[in-house]
A and B are shown apart, each in its own frame.
Chain A
Amino acid sequence: MTPYYPILEAPYCSGETTVHNFPPNNWEISDRKHKNLYVSFIKDNFWVNHKIDEVPFGKSKTIKSQDLNSITQSSSIKIISLSPNTFPEKSRSIPKLIHRSTSTPLSRATLSLVSDKASTCYQGEIVPFPERATLLSFSPFLQFHKGIENFLILLNLESNAQIRTGNLEIFDGRNNHLKKTVEILSNTVNIISLNDIDLSPDSFPVFISKDMASIPIYLSSFNQGRQISIEHTHPPGSFAIHGNRFAVQREIKRFWFERFRTK
């Protein structure tokens, strides 16, 4: 499986994605080729695939969100790809990456958020989600202190060049109260403020979408970006190792969806 790399977006910050044209290990077969660097975004129900550079083997390259302003003003997610092959200029589905890549781990990029005073990052990637997929996330990352704001950043990537709408529901896991419902979009970096739903250090917020899967990234920001921190949660199947973790995850999701009796 060869992954794509999103450019993050968040309040008080801009996104930077650093891709690396070398494998994370020396024991799996991977291509050692010069690669084309593409950004893909959605316009008029097509993926537009724009070549922005080339990256020699062994080198890294940083793409800043402001670098893309002259290429697109699209509100869709911007996806960075490294490919030895040439992409079509437009496509109905996101171009498949057909070169060899590693699996332990997947080849990853450095996904950063940068403010005037601080930066934060994680090593990540994204592969397209199926359209019939769901989200369940328990967040332990919310931070509470004067001047701190918390945001949820939901990254969704689906292959088809369409932007669907769906709902995200935020519950208090202790008493099943629905705290907030938010409309979210596929193929988009959804930014959701968590500052207006009366959460406290004792809260147990649970985030559910039955309409689409996403990577849930939690951002805490102090004094409008003077310090920032991000991390994503694991999918619920990560409570287990070995065996059929997908079946475990399916049953945990079923338990929570029934518990909250979402639509």
Chain B
Amino acid sequence: MNNFFRRALKSPFVIGQRLTKIPRRHDSVVSDLFVWRADKDWNTYFKLFNISSFCGEDRVETVNLVIFDDHGNKIYSNKIQLNEFSINTLNIGKILSNLDLKTSFGTFSIFHSKNLDLFKKYDSYCAERGYVGYSYKNMPLKSYIHGNLDAVDNNLFPLGGTSLISRKYNLQFSFNFKSDYEVAIVNNTNKPKRVLLNINQSPNDIKSQVIQPLGVKIFLLGDLSVRENFHINLKSRLIMARPIVFRIDKNDFDIFHG
């Protein structure tokens, strides 16, 4: 098949479908939609930078922490002041401990106080894409991952694009059938999205979840019948359904972006 026809076949995936929309206002700031987990086994930490001082602008900066439940409902917000050239650690489980929650996971975002002059100068927007640490049971090390989706602006407007037709995200990871995995997907669009998780392209191993805007769902892979290493793909109308993968073994765990 020549290049013209190959490109023509791909055009429904491309035309008018941005991975990340441009915020409506030039002074907007943007955040990833980070996943939190907080229960008897899990806790979540966030490493928060004073981006303004890191860029040579205001020394003291205030950020707005907004926490959502798994359905994308806002359940908490609070302003936090950051000192110059500092890295603060937020303990999300501790922050949520006073709330009467019906879920043990959800999402959160961090909005810096303003779009910096440096970013405006180059038609850019301040983005919090920082670093989440997860602790599991009494294991001494946290497992850290970086942010991955420029998901939402400070008016809580989701910035993720929606695909005209379903598309597949093939996780380039070989799952070890001896380990337990949990696969988390966030919805950074303004409409609910159905996500189908398929194992080894088999029609018998499909899991399905509907994820609300700004929400998250976790697929549990511990009940699979497969007895060999396997691949998964995620089919949805998200532009890029890149998940977070939690691997859990008896004395070890690891978390990474898929």
Identify the A interface with B (CB < 8 A): 18, 20, 22-29, 60, 62, 104-105, 107-110, 117-123, 138, 140-141, 143, 145, 147-148, 173-174, 201, 204, 218, 220, 222, 227-229, 231-234, 236, 238-245, 247-248, 251-252, 255
Instruction: Tell me the residues in window 9-32 of chain B with beta carbons closer than 8 Å to chain A beta carbons.
Output: 10, 13-14, 19-20, 22, 30
Residues of A within 8 A of B13 (CB): 27-28
Q: Is the CB of B140 within 8 A of A145?
A: yes
Interface mask (B129-153 → A, CB under 8 Å = 1, otherwise 0):
1110000000111111110001000
A-B contacts, 23 of them at CB < 8 A, read A20-B173, A22-B170, A22-B172, A23-B170, A24-B170, A27-B10, A29-B3, A104-B240, A110-B172, A118-B252, A140-B49, A141-B131, A173-B85, A174-B86, A227-B252, A231-B131, A239-B119, A240-B119, A241-B150, A243-B119, A244-B123, A248-B119, A252-B54
Shortest beta-carbon distance from A142 to chain B in Å: 10
Interface size counted on chain B using CB atoms at 8 A: 60
Cα-based distance from A138 to B14 in the complex (angstroms): 35
Shortest beta-carbon distance from A170 to chain B in Å: 15
Query: Which listed residue (A22, A247, A255) contacts B122, Cβ 8 A?
Result: A247
Q: Is the interface of A mostly helix, strand, loop or mixed?
A: mixed
Cα-based distance from A232 to B148 in the complex (angstroms): 12
Minimum CB distance partner of B242 in chain A = A105
Of A29, A204, A242, chain B has the most CB atoms within 10 Å of the CB of A242
Cα-based distance from A146 to B51 in the complex (angstroms): 31
Shortest beta-carbon distance from A186 to chain B in Å: 25
Q: Is the CB of B167 within 8 A of A26?
A: yes
Interface mask (B74-86 → A, CB under 8 Å = 1, otherwise 0):
0000000000011
Cα-based distance from A173 to B119 in the complex (angstroms): 22
Residues of A within 8 A of B169 (CB): 24-25
Q: Is the CB of B144 within 8 A of A229?
A: yes
User: Count of A-B contacts with CB under 8 A?
Assistant: 167
Residues of A within 8 A of B10 (CB): 27-29
Query: Which listed residue (B7, B56, B143) contacts A255, Cβ 8 A?
Result: B56
Query: Which listed residue (B14, B142, B174, B254) contacts A60, Cβ 8 A?
Result: B174
Q: Is the CB of A122 within 8 A of B256?
A: yes
The answer to whether the Cβ of B124 comes within 8 Å of any Cβ in the partner chain is: yes
Of B13, B30, B123, chain A has the most CB atoms within 10 Å of the CB of B123
Residues of A within 8 A of B131 (CB): 140-141, 231, 233
Residues of A within 8 A of B47 (CB): 140-141
Q: Is the CB of A229 within 8 A of B30?
A: no
Cα-based distance from A123 to B255 in the complex (angstroms): 11
The answer to whether the Cβ of B118 comes within 8 Å of any Cβ in the partner chain is: yes
Q: Is the CB of B242 within 8 A of A110?
A: no
Residues of A within 8 A of B146 (CB): 231-234
Cα-based distance from A240 to B51 in the complex (angstroms): 10
Interchain residue pairs A-B with the least CB separation, the first 4: A243-B124, A140-B47, A243-B123, A27-B13
The answer to whether the Cβ of B257 comes within 8 Å of any Cβ in the partner chain is: yes
Residues of B within 8 A of A120 (CB): 143, 254
The answer to whether the Cβ of B6 comes within 8 Å of any Cβ in the partner chain is: yes
The answer to whether the Cβ of B93 comes within 8 Å of any Cβ in the partner chain is: no
Cα-based distance from A238 to B119 in the complex (angstroms): 11
Query: Which listed residue (B54, B119, B144, B229) contacts A231, Cβ 8 A?
Result: B144
Cα-based distance from A255 to B127 in the complex (angstroms): 19
Cα-based distance from A243 to B13 in the complex (angstroms): 23
Cα-based distance from A247 to B122 in the complex (angstroms): 7
Q: A138-B87, A231-B131 are in contact. Are A110 and B252 (CB under 8 A)?
A: no
Minimum CB distance partner of A19 in chain B = B172
Q: Is the CB of A123 within 8 A of B127?
A: no
Q: A24-B170, A110-B174, A234-B146 are in contact. Are A239 and B257 (CB under 8 A)?
A: no
Q: Is the CB of A245 within 8 A of B124?
A: yes
